[in-house]
Structure 1
Amino acid sequence: MENYTQAAEFAQTWGLLYFVLIFLGVLVYAFWPRNRDRFDDAAHIPLRED
């Protein structure tokens, strides 16, 4: 039973760190100034007439 407890603690600790890092990476990508034009263009796609 001790192996399961250790594995669960390891997964919870490092899994949380992994997802926090992924979340921060997504935020940096979304708010990076170089990507502003790309996201502005994508935001206006529904308003374009074909």
Structure 2
Amino acid sequence: MHETYLWLASFAQTGGLLLFVLGFLLVVAYVFWPSKARKHDFDEAANIPLKED
């Protein structure tokens, strides 16, 4: 029972790490993938703090 718990715990930790790293890489790829439509949206979003109310 103890070995099963240790195996499942290490699998969950490793799987969780891989899942979050993969998710991070997907988000970075999405942001930096060249696309004219998204570039306009990202530039517009970047200027939101500079707008006057």
| TM-score band w.r.t. shorter chain | 0.7 to 0.9
Deviation at 1:45, TM superposition (A): 2.1
TM-score of the two chains, using structure 1 as the length reference: 0.79
TM-score of the two chains, using structure 2 as the length reference: 0.76
Higher relative contact order (CA 8 A, sep 6+): 1
5 Å-filtered alignment, 1:1-12, equals 1-12=2-13
Supply the distance in 1 between the matched residues of 2:52 and 2:34 (Cα, whole angstroms): 28
Deviation at 1:16, TM superposition (A): 1.0
Any runs of at least 4 consecutive aligned residues in structure 1 with deviations exceeding 6 A, and if so which?
none
5 Å-filtered alignment, 1:5-24, equals 5-24=6-25
* Aligned pairs, number: 50
Listed as ranges, the gaps of 5+ residues in structure 2 are: none
Listed as ranges, the gaps of 5+ residues in structure 1 are: none
5 Å-filtered alignment, 1:1-50, equals 1-34=2-35, 35-49=38-52
Identity %: 58
